[in-house]
Amino acid sequence: MVCETEINYVIWQNRSFRFYLASRLLYANELYSPSAFCSIQAIETLMKATLVYWDRSFNPESMNHKIVGMINSIRNKVDKGKEFDCPKYFYMDKRFQSVTRYPDKNKGVMVPCTFLSDLDEMFCQLIEYVPFQFNTELSRTLLGKKKKNFDILKENNSQMERLNQIFGLKSGG
């Protein structure tokens, strides 16, 4: 029987996965600022999903966009989460969250060459923290049930083998 915590996790993870795919697709098409915005949405939403699963007292809405607070909560509340970190450029000065959408003459948005591999690593690490992965959009994509999504997911993704291992699949989906 699936419990409410697991259902809530899947709902949050599915939302995160959509932003993650959007970020990867935008990046592949050299739309770096929108990719950066979608990346922080994916990370923030997946951190919330992870905390929804592990901490029954966690309120995702009250956490707002407090990335550092969520990183600390993951380190304290999540099994195997002690070493979790997020590269600071994802949340520094809320550049990916705000400056990607609202021009600021004093701030810019820089997307480093490690962006995609950093994003893939963080996404995979957060997925790995939650043992419940039943019937998520990610699992259906890895099983090949969503070909377009699978193509976006696998392109230049250094974490595909790891994702397949998490889901008990052979490489290639």
Question: What pLDDT is recorded for position 171?
Answer: 62
Indicate whether 85 belongs to any domain: yes
Task: State the Cα–Cα distance between residues 69 and 79, nearest whole angstrom.
Answer: 17
Decide if 92 is inside a domain. yes
Cβ proximity of 33 and 110 under 8 Å: no
Q: Which one, of 92, 74, 70, 93, lies nearest residue 83 by Cα?
A: 74
The two structure tokens encoding residue 90: 């994802």
pLDDT at position 172 is: 52
pLDDT in tens, the chain (173 residues): 789 999 999 999 999 999 999 999 999 999 999 999 999 999 999 999 999 999 999 998 888 889 999 999 999 999 999 999 999 999 998 889 888 888 888 888 889 999 999 999 999 999 999 999 999 999 999 999 999 999 999 999 999 999 999 999 976 54
What pTM was computed for the model?
0.93
pLDDT at 8: 95
Total domain count, the chain:
1
* Domain that residue 40 falls in: 4-166
Asked, for residue 55, whether it belongs to a domain, the answer is: yes
Whether residue 120 lies inside any domain: the answer is yes
- Residues 6 or more apart in contact with residue 128 via CB below 8 angstroms: 80, 162, 166
CATH of the domain at 98: 1.20.120
Looking at residue 173, what is its pLDDT?
47
Whether 29 maps to a domain, the answer reads yes
Q: How far is CA 40 from CA 32, 33, 45, 152, 171, in A?
A: 12, 11, 8, 18, 28
Other C-beta atoms lying within 10 Å of the C-beta of residue 105: 5
Would residue 16 count as lying in a domain?
Answer: yes
46 within a domain of the structure (yes/no): yes
DSSP 9-55: HHHHHHHHHHHHHHHHHHHHTT-HHHHHHHHHHHHHHHHHHHHHHH-
* C-alpha distance from residue 39 to each of 102, 135, 145 (Å): 16, 23, 24
In a domain, 172, yes or no: no
